[in-house]
Amino acid sequence: MIRLTNLTKRYGSFTAVDGIDLEVPSGELFGFLGPNGAGKTTTLRMIAGILKPTSGVVEIGGDDLERKPRKAKTRMGFIPDRPFVYDKLTGAEFLRFVAALYGQEGPAIERRMDELLKLFDLAPWKDELTESYSHGMRQKLIISSALIHQPEVIVVDEPMVGLDPKSARLLKDLFREFTSRGGTILMSTHTLEVAEDMCDRIGIIQGGKIVACGTMAELRHQFAAGDASLEDLFLRLTGGTPELELGHVFDR
């Protein structure tokens, strides 16, 4: 379970995240949508404990992230939008390093590591330095590292970017399996089809505030949107202007 209470982040006089209240229960995949600069990454980074909130509370599985950071972080796996890995470690060394950060090592971790590397088609690259990995391979290694310590909660920023169709499908199936076993996922995405297809509930964030939240059916009902697509709803709620006159851009 993830619970955010009045979560706020200010940079000087600018408010990037403005008093967000949200509860994502166990077993739910919640999608976070919003235009560029809306505050998605800032929110996810605060939940992951990378960025300190100006005010408000983050709870992971009932543990307050500020008061019990170790306990809360042990329950969580974070997949950032940019896959940072240490270039001079091999894939296997990187996974062992992350597992050790969570105080886990030994045969069980070796087995889990082999299982994850195999699942993501990285087994043949296990002992290669990650500097030779492609963007997608790095992304898959980061995803594996977020799963290595068996978290209860996954916080993930734009997971599908850079993944080939097979890996994207695998991730989708993994996330489904994870939530069906009681795991909790908070995922940001710009891909509305991914959100519509995968998420149990969706929150639309704009200007640091959640401006709409619910299942697709609830959102359509709430905004009297008939059978509107998520794209139509999204553009309506975030003030998109999809019917611009663009001819002049190419006028000579």
Q: Report the interface residues with ligand ATP, using CB under 6 A.
A: 11, 16, 34, 36-42
Name the minimum Å distance from CB 62 to ligand ATP: 26
Altogether, the residues listed in the chain come to a count of 252
Q: Give the Cα separation of 22 and 24 in Å (integer).
A: 7
Are residues 147 and 139 in contact, defined by beta-carbon separation less than 8 angstroms? no
Closest to ligand ATP by CB, 34 vs 53, is 34
Nearer to ligand ATP, 11 or 250 (CB): 11
Residue 190 beta carbon to ligand ATP: minimum distance, rounded to whole angstroms: 6
Minimum gap (Å) between residue 11 Cβ and ligand ATP:
4
38 vs 204, beta carbon nearer ligand ATP: 38
Nearer to ligand ATP, 39 or 151 (CB): 39
- 196 burial type by CB count under 10 A (0-12 exposed, 13-18 middle, 19+ buried): middle
For 19-73, give the DSSP string.
EEEEEE-TT-EEEEE--TTSSHHHHHHHHTTSS--SEEEEEETTEETTTSHHHHH
232 vs 242: CA distance, rounded Å: 9
Least Å distance, CB 218 to ligand ATP, is 22
For residue 10, the cross-strand partners are: 15
CB of 172 to ligand ATP, least distance (A): 21
Where on the phi/psi map is residue 5: left (φ > 0), alpha (ψ -120 to 50), or beta? beta
Measured over the CA atoms of residue 37, residue 41, residue 43 and residue 49, the dihedral's sign is negative
Nearer to ligand ATP, 41 or 144 (CB): 41
State the minimum distance, in angstroms, from the CB of residue 33 to ligand ATP: 9
